Amino acid sequence: MSDATLHYTTQDPDDFAVQIADQIESFLVAVAEVAKGDEPGSAVPFLLLEVSQLMLAGGRLGAHEDILPDERYEPDLGPEQDVDELREKLARLLEPVDVYSEVFDPYEPRTAPVPARISDDLADVIADLRHGMAHYRAGRVTEALWWWQFSYFSNWGSTASATLRALHSVLAHIRLDQPLEELDGLDTDQALGDDTLEIEAGKVMVEEIAEPLGLRSAK
């Protein structure tokens, strides 16, 4: 969706709300395009770029003074747009590297790493962002900003930052010629102990990720 259809023509492009909405809309459109799977070889670096740019919007929201909604109760938005199809497309696209390990709260003593999925994380973030975008498109700009700021602190900020680290790790291993080893059956249904985080078999990364990205010649 272009800026002309997303914003009122009288809105100042330098306005904080307009800039945040533009960044969020750009992320929503970009991830939907990646999920189509037309260019699987560029999926990981492109997602890394998009999540990085989204985190800039999140940082601006986080640094902003508390935004208070105009109304005491949030207006009813009707049924939420389903993200399951997007989640499934991303899971298929990212299958070799979809599952990763994450520490939920770095300030919680002795917090054990937990398994997570990039596809789940992105779908979760998008659900939060779409919710605020529905308010924005309905002309409830303050409500949209309040929701994006609140959900940044309560959910999508930490989720997106964890996803960013995972995507960064994938590319770093490839570019530094340090192939990731197999996660040995790791899935999001199981808990992780310290020993489970030992990773082994880089052929998965080399064959299914590095070669399609054009970072290593196919044999």
pLDDT (tens digit per residue) in 24-53: 999 999 999 999 999 888 999 999 999 999
d(C-alpha 129, C-alpha 110), whole Å: 32
Q: How sure is the predictor about 70, in pLDDT bands with cuts at 50, 70 and 90?
A: confident
Beta strands of the chain (E only): which ranges? 99-102, 114-117
Q: Report CA-CA distances (Å) from 166 to 101, 115, 145, 150, 182.
A: 8, 11, 27, 24, 15
φ, ψ of residue 41 in degrees (nearest 5):
-65, -20
Kindly report which listed range (16-20, 59-63, 76-80) carries the lowest average pLDDT score.
76-80
Instruction: Say yes or no to pLDDT of 187 above 70.
Output: no
pLDDT of residue 184: 43
Q: How is 78-128 classified by DSSP, letter by letter? A: -SPPP-HHHHHHHHHHTGGG-EEEE-S-TTSTTPPPEEEEHHHHHHHHHHH
User: Residue 61's pLDDT is what?
Assistant: 97
More confident residue, 72 or 114: 114
- Cβ neighbors of 138 (< 8 A, separation 6 or more) are 75, 77
- Provide mean pLDDT across the span 181-210: 43
For residue 186, what pLDDT is reported?
46
Q: Say what the pLDDT of residue 203 is.
A: 40
* Band (73; pLDDT cuts 50, 70, 90): confident
Taking 70 as the threshold, does the pLDDT of residue 206 lie above it?
no
